[in-house]
Amino acid sequence: MTATAQYERTQASYVGLWILAAAFVASLVIAMIGGGFSVQFRSVAVAVFLLLGIVVAAMARLTVTVDDRCVEATFGWGWPTRAIALSDVNGVSQVRNSWWYGWGIRWIPHGWMYNVWGCDAVELQLANDRVFRIGTDDPGGLVAVLESGAARGPHR
C-alpha cells in the first residue's frame, strides 16, 4: 500500500537563483572575453562558475512532503533527501533560526537543518534526543499537518 501525501510544499531561494544567474553570466564573460587571462585560467574559472551554478541550482529549492508514515525534505533535483518516520518524532514546534545558521544543509546544536531561505522553520524532536529543522515559508501549516499525522500515526 502506498502512502498518500497529506502535505507538499516547495520553497525556492530567490537569492540562490540570482547567484545562479550571476555564475552563468560570469562564465560567459570569462569564456568569451577572457581579456588578458590565459586559456588555462579561463578554463578553470568557467569550470568553477559552472560547478557553483550546478550546486546552487540543486540547493535552491526545498520540497517538504508529509504522508501518513513520514516527513521528507528534498532539495532541488531529488537529492539530497532526508526522510523521517513519524514514529521517530516525539514533538513538533515552530521555531525561528538564528541568522548565522545560514542556508543549505547545516549541523546545528543537537541536530541537522535543511533550509533554502529565511529564518522560519519547524523543529522535529526525534526519539534519539536529536532535532531536525526544516526551513519553510509555511511553518504553521507544516506544524498542523505533522501534529495531526503524529497523533494518528501507527506508532501511537
pLDDT of res. 34: 66
pLDDT of res. 46: 79
Residue 85 lies in a domain: yes
Q: Are residues 68 and 104 in the same domain?
A: yes
Query: pTM for the full model?
Result: 0.79
Taking the C-alpha atoms of residue 18 and residue 69, their distance in angstroms, rounded to an integer, is 36
Q: Are residues 51 and 74 in the same domain?
A: no
pLDDT digits (tens, 9 = 90+) for 136-155: 999 999 999 999 865 444 44
Give the model's confidence band at 29: pLDDT under 50 very low, under 70 low, under 90 confident, else very high: confident
Q: Are residues 81 and 124 in the same domain?
A: yes
pLDDT digits (tens, 9 = 90+) for 35-44: 677 878 878 8
Give the model's confidence band at 11: pLDDT under 50 very low, under 70 low, under 90 confident, else very high: very high
Output the nine-digit C-alpha cell for 75. Answer: 532539495
Return the SS3 of 77. Answer: coil
Q: Is 59 exposed, middle or buried (0-12, 13-18, 19+ CB in 10 A)?
A: buried
Mean pLDDT of 51-79: 89
Asked whether the predicted pLDDT for residue 83 surpasses 80, the reply is yes
Q: Are residues 136 and 74 in the same domain?
A: yes
Q: What is the mean pLDDT of the chain?
A: 86
Q: Which carries the bigger pLDDT value, residue 33 or residue 155?
A: 33
Output the nine-digit C-alpha cell for 111. Answer: 541536530
Return the SS3 of 70. Answer: strand
Q: Are residues 68 and 131 in the same domain?
A: yes
Domain that holds residue 39: 12-59
User: Which residues does residue 81 pair with via DSSP β-bridges, in sequence order?
Assistant: 74
Residue 5 lies in a domain: no
pLDDT of res. 53: 77
pLDDT of res. 138: 97
DSSP H or E stretch at residue 45:
helix 39-59
138, 139, 145, 149 alpha-carbon torsion, rounded to 10°: 140
> 80 preceded by cis ω (within 30°)?
yes
